[in-house]
Amino acid sequence: MRKIAVLLVVGLVLAGCQPIERTAYNTVVGAKAFLDTERKAHPECVAGNTTTLCVDIAKAVAAKDLLIDAITVYCSGPDFNNGGACNAPSKGSSAYTEAVAKLQAAINNYNQVAKDLQGVK
């Protein structure tokens, strides 16, 4: 148990050292893998199924999609729009502060929804 706690702390420290767009991207990649597994494990979760599990899977998918939208807004610019690197707003600007806050909120939202989904299982 102690090893897990140490790894978690190291992971959180390292996560703080990377740009927020990288954290968001990594969250999306993990979310896709997690949600693909959940959908495969629960084929009964089709449109209209209102069980708690299926509703939570749908919420997690929506939260992942919202995070992708937030990354697109944060990175949008000539390079990014043509398939290149992220064009984040200039640090220190009000646009940067607002974009970071929105991107962090989208990351936090997905993480909470995924945690709720894991709690239902």
pLDDT of residue 3: 44
Distance CA 121, CA 118 (A): 6
pLDDT in tens, 4-45: 433 444 444 444 578 999 999 999 999 999 999 999 999 999
> Has residue 116 been placed in a domain?
yes
pLDDT, tens digit (0-9, with 9 covering 90-100), for 48-93: 999 999 999 999 999 999 999 999 999 999 999 999 999 999 999 9
Among 57, 56, 75, smallest CA distance to 67 is for 75
Q: Is residue 12 part of a domain?
A: no
Which tens digits make up the pLDDT trace of 102-117?
999 999 999 999 999 9
Q: Which domain holds residue 111?
A: 19-120
Pairwise CA distance, residues 60 & 53, whole Å:
11
* Structural domain total, the chain: 1
Q: Is residue 11 in a domain?
A: no
Which position has the higher pLDDT, 80 or 2?
A: 80
Residue/partner pairs of 83-91 with CB below 8 Å, 24 or more apart:
86/19, 86/21, 88/19, 88/21
Domain contains 71 = yes
**pLDDT, position 120:** 80
pLDDT confidence band for 101 (50 / 70 / 90): very high
Q: Does residue 64 sit within a domain?
A: yes
Residue 1 has a pLDDT of 38
Helices 20-41 and 94-120, packing angle to 10 deg: 20
Local structure of 51: helix, strand or coil: coil
